[in-house]
Every structure is written in structure tokens, then in C-alpha cells.
Amino acid sequence: MKRATLEVGGLVAMLDCLVVEKRLRTLPGVIAVDMNATSTTATVAYDETRTDIETIRSEIEACGFHCRGESVPCHICVPNGTVRRPCGP
């Protein structure tokens, strides 16, 4: 099992979080989803042999929201190690 936190943009209301949660829970291999409206993130526990980050990201976008991928603190390199998000405003 793997766990990832993804940025979800475009959330307007609490019901938006429920829409994303419900959609992601239907994906094969997704074990748990925890949406956080304050930080606009979705923490997803999933079986990496049945699904992947790109599929999860695509499902978030299919709901009509934006997803840049995994949310990584600015002081840590992005998982693929090629790009680093700028810190600060």
C-alpha cells in the first residue's frame, strides 16, 4: 500500500470535497481517501499494483477540478527529482 497527498484546486464548497472523495473511492485499488478543504488536498491510500498517481490525478480532473499532482513541501524535492517548487508567495 502506498499513500500520496495530491493538490486539488478549484474547490468552492464542502460538497466539492465529497464529490472528489466519492469518485476516488470507486477507483480499483483505492483503499482510503481523506479530503482536506482547508489545505485543498486529497490524501489517498492505494494499492500501487492496481492504480497510480496519474490515474488518480486524472479522476480528480474528470470531476472538474485542477490537480497538479502530489503536494510536496517546498523544502523537499518533487518525487521525480527533476523540478522543485518555489517556496513562498
What's the predicted TM-score (pTM) here? 0.75
Rounded to an integer, what distance in angstroms lies between the CA atom of residue 44 and that of residue 5?
Answer: 6
Strand-pair category, 30-36 with 2-9: unpaired
The phi and psi torsions of 53 (rounded to 5 degrees) equal -60, -40
Query: Which among 66, 68, 67, 86 is positioned nearest to 76, based on CA atoms?
Result: 86
**63: how many CB neighbours lie within 10 A of its CB?**
16
Q: How far apart are the first and last CA of the chain?
A: 34
Please state, for a pLDDT cut of 70, what percent of the chain lies above it.
Answer: 80
pLDDT in tens, 5-21: 999 988 888 889 999 99
Give the chain's mean pLDDT.
83
